[in-house]
Amino acid sequence: MAHNFFDLTGKTAIVTGTSRGLGQYMGRALARAGADLVITSRDADSLGEFQAEIEALGQKATPLELDVRDETSIEAFARACGKVDILVNNAGCNVRKPAVEISWDDWNTVLDTNLRGTFFVSQAIAKHCMIPNASGRIINIGSVTCVAGYAGLGPYCASRGGVKQLTMSLADDWGPHGITVNCLAPGWFKTAQNQVLYENEEWVEYLCDRIPLKRPGQPNDLDGSVVFLASDASAYVTGQTLLVDGGISTGATKATVD
């Protein structure tokens, strides 16, 4: 029988920040491909419903507490994980304000979560779970803001641009240990963080006008990409940023021809 390069049966995947949003979308995709999950939140009790959903798919789901802004929490988490084949660094946050209104605390909250947290969770899991086994897949969740800037998102854009650069550095660092490190960069998806934007029909129309595929991302639009980067299908892919954005990063806008 031919090998199914996208089969994750027997693999264990950590997905951080799975209390809502994109983390749950990607967790479901990995579970449907056969992976058991370690799911995380700062409040592990909030993961019960999602745990039950994954178990209904026939996969194990282990909820663990993790605060990616806390060194002690990260270290304790990594030591509790056991066997890990895949790490999806999804936990993140955002502060939407004009640049002149961003405070030191705003900046630190976003960068500490999205960039510092991604690095130190990766470091701990690589050290305890992947380097000893000479294998692993790390998927850092970025954003279209890895390659494009938007007003009102200064700290967020800085953090996601940093994740893109960090991905390349870690890929070079850990490639000799059999670990691939890639960045999955979604475009505009409706999540709890940005739901208020999608309540403005005029803004949604403006957004869709800028996206070549003429719609925001839907939950299952990330399924194939996250499974690809987690699986044997991407064994020779590392240090790359995969944009799943409907083409908005091409800079395409509506134009008329006289």
What is the CA angle 79-81-85, rounded to 5? 120
Query: 89-127 pLDDT, tens per residue?
Result: 999 999 999 999 999 999 999 999 999 999 999 999 999
Query: 200-214 pLDDT, tens per residue?
Result: 889 899 999 999 999
pLDDT at residue number 190: 81
Query: 181-239 pLDDT, tens per residue?
Result: 999 999 998 877 677 778 888 989 999 999 999 999 988 999 999 999 999 999 999 99
pLDDT at residue number 21: 87
Give the chain's domains with CATH numbers.
12-245 (3.40.50.720)
Instruction: Map tokens 């605390």 to a residue.
Output: 105
Q: Distances from the Cα of 211 to the Cαs of 17, 96, 151, 250, in angstroms?
A: 27, 21, 17, 9
Average pLDDT over residues 46-67: 96
Query: 118-132 pLDDT, tens per residue?
Result: 999 999 999 999 999
Query: 147-177 pLDDT, tens per residue?
Result: 988 888 999 999 999 999 999 999 999 999 9
* pLDDT higher than 80, residue 23: yes
| Options 25, 150, 156, 236, the catalytic residue | 156
pLDDT at residue number 257: 35
Contact 8, 230 (CB under 8 A): yes
pLDDT at residue number 130: 98
Is residue 156 part of the annotated active site? The answer reads yes
The percentage of residues in the chain with a pLDDT greater than 90, rounded to a whole number, is 81
- Using pLDDT thresholds of 50, 70 and 90, give the confidence band for residue 252: low
Q: What's the mean per-residue pLDDT of the chain?
A: 93
* pLDDT higher than 80, residue 250: yes
